[in-house]
């Protein structure tokens, strides 16, 4: 396939056994966006932050959409394959452990992280999904045998994500074998300090 490398920032810990936080921005963000947030989790994680290869009216995204909340699923599958292939090459180049990657995605970034869970169920060691939507209408039955832990936070007042759809997505992830910790927060689509605190606690519990 004709894959394009992604722009990235990599910050190593120097520890070959460290987990790597894979940072995936929201629409209009870039590879620098989530680095300040990741600093809340301490300095024991490598940081790999990517920029999406798709541009929507000049705003970086990880995959195309057909309208608000309507994903171009063919492009999403392709971009997920492209990202995973890029990370595999980068692991060799930068020297991080391919089996110790924890995705951290917000909005559009959470959705390609979710697509990675679905397409490559055992690729990620874990995932933090802030304000995600189910990536594909049908997400299949091939799941993980590793009880991969997933942090999932939604906003009760979020106008962009349907609460019923979130319930279905959660059920589907659990049926695929993911160990999901779900938090429904009193906020909108924006990230809050509560998201950061809860996900920091979740990380420390699952990946110390």
Catalytic member of 107, 153, 154, 199: 107
CA distance 128 to 135: 15
DSSP string for residues in 113-156? HHHHHHHSTTT-SEEEEES---SSS---S---SS--EEEEEEET
Catalytic member of 33, 49, 153, 158: 158
Find how far residue 81's CA is from the centre of its chain.
Answer: 14
Question: What are the respective helix, strand and coil percentages of the chain, to the nearest 5?
Answer: 35, 25, 45
CA neighbor of 151 nearest in space, from 89, 204, 98, 80: 204
**How distant, in Å, are the alpha carbons of 19, 69, 163 from that of 10?**
13, 30, 35
158 catalytic? Reply is yes
107 catalytic? Reply is yes
Catalytically active residues are: 107, 158, 189
């Amino acid at each position: 396939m004709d894959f394009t490398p992604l722009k990235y920032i990599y910050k190593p810990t120097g520890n070959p056994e460290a987990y790597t936080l894979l940072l995936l921005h929201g629409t209009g963000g870039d590879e620098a966006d989530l680095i300040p947030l990741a600093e809340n989790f301490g300095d024991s994680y490598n940081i790999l932050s990517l920029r999406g290869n798709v541009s929507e009216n000049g705003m970086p995204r990880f995959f195309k959409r057909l309208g608000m909340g309507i994903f171009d699923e063919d492009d999403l599958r392709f971009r997920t394959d492209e990202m995973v292939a890029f990370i595999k090459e980068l692991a060799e180049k930068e020297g991080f452990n391919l089996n110790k990657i924890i995705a951290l995605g917000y909005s559009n970034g959470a959705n390609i992280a979710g697509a990675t869970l679905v397409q490559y169920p055992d690729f990620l060691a874990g995932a933090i999904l802030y304000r995600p939507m189910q990536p594909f209408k049908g997400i299949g039955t091939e799941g993980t045998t590793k009880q991969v832990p997933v942090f999932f936070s939604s906003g009760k007042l979020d106008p962009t994500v349907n609460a019923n759809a979130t319930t279905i997505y959660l059920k589907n992830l659990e049926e695929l074998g993911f160990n999901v910790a779900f938090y429904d927060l009193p906020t909108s689509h924006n990230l809050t300090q509560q998201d950061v605190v809860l996900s920091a606690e979740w990380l420390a519990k699952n990946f110390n």
